[in-house]
Amino acid sequence: MQCAIIPVTPYQQNCSILVCEETRRAALVDPGGDVPRLRDALKQLDVTLEKVFLTHAHLDHCAAADVVRKEFGVPIEGPHIEDKFWLDQLGEATRRMGFPPADPFVPDRWLKDGDTVSFGAQTLEVLHCPGHTPGHVVFFHRGERLALVGDVLFQGSIGRTDFPRGDYDTLIHSIRDKLWPLGDDVTFVPGHGPASTFGDERKHNPFVADMRFG
C-alpha cells in the first residue's frame, strides 16, 4: 500500500491518499478542502477513488468530504457517531473560520472501535481514540505498520483538548492504552506536520513519553 500526503486548507492538514498498489483503487483520509488539488493528485497517481475515511469531524479534516462524495460517487466512512454534533454545525464553522461554504452531512457509515474499513485489497482496523474530539477514530494497517491518527498525536505533541467535549485525560488514555500496544515500529501520519513512529514518541514526546508515567 502506498500513502501520499497532500496538505490542504490554510491549516495545512495532512489529507492522505491511500493507494492499493494491487488494484489501483484509493481512499482519501480527511479531505478537509482544496478539492482541485486532491483531484489532480488522484489523476497523477492514476488511481480510482473508492472511499473517503474520516478520523474526526473538525472542519479542516472533513469540510470537503461531501463534495468529494458527490463528485466521485463514493461513500464516506467515519468518524464515530459521537462527533455528529461537530458535523451538524459544519456550515456555521466554515463561515466563522473563513472556509469555503460546506453544508452539514451524515456519513454513509459511522465507525466504532473494533470495526474495519477496506478499499481495493486493503483492510485497516478502526480504533476509537477520543479526547481531541469524542468521536475521533484512528485507522491502522497492520501489514504496513502504518497508522493514520488524525489529531490524536503529533511529532512532539498531542491534540488540543480545549474544544467542546475534548478531555485531556481521555486523550492520554487513548494514546497510551490504544496506540502504544500496536508497537514501537508503527509509523504514524498525523493530521498536521511530519510523520513519526510510536517508539520515537514514547521516548521523546514531552506529553506522553514513558518517563512521564514511571
Distance CA 67, CA 65 (A): 5
Cell of 44: 497523477
Alpha-carbon radius of gyration of the chain: 16
Q: Count other C-beta atoms under 10 Å from residue 23's C-beta.
A: 14
Residue 162 has a pLDDT of 97
Nearest to 137 by CA among 109, 156, 101: 109
Cell of 199: 517508539
Contact criterion met (CB below 8 Å) for 158 and 197: no
Query: For the residues of 9-33, what is the DSSP string, one character each?
Result: TTTTEEEEEEEETTTTEEEEE---S
Residue 214 has a pLDDT of 74
Residue 75 has a pLDDT of 98
| Statement: 2-213 belongs to CATH 3.60.15.10 | yes
| Dihedral in degrees, nearest 10, Cα atoms 141, 3, 174, 83 | -110
214 residues of the chain, pLDDT tens digit each: 999 999 999 999 999 999 999 999 999 999 999 999 999 999 999 999 999 999 999 999 999 999 999 999 999 999 999 999 999 999 999 999 999 999 999 999 999 999 999 999 999 999 999 999 999 999 999 999 999 999 999 999 999 999 999 999 999 999 999 999 999 999 999 999 999 999 999 999 999 999 999 7
Angle separating helix axes 65-72 and 35-45, nearest 10 degrees: 50
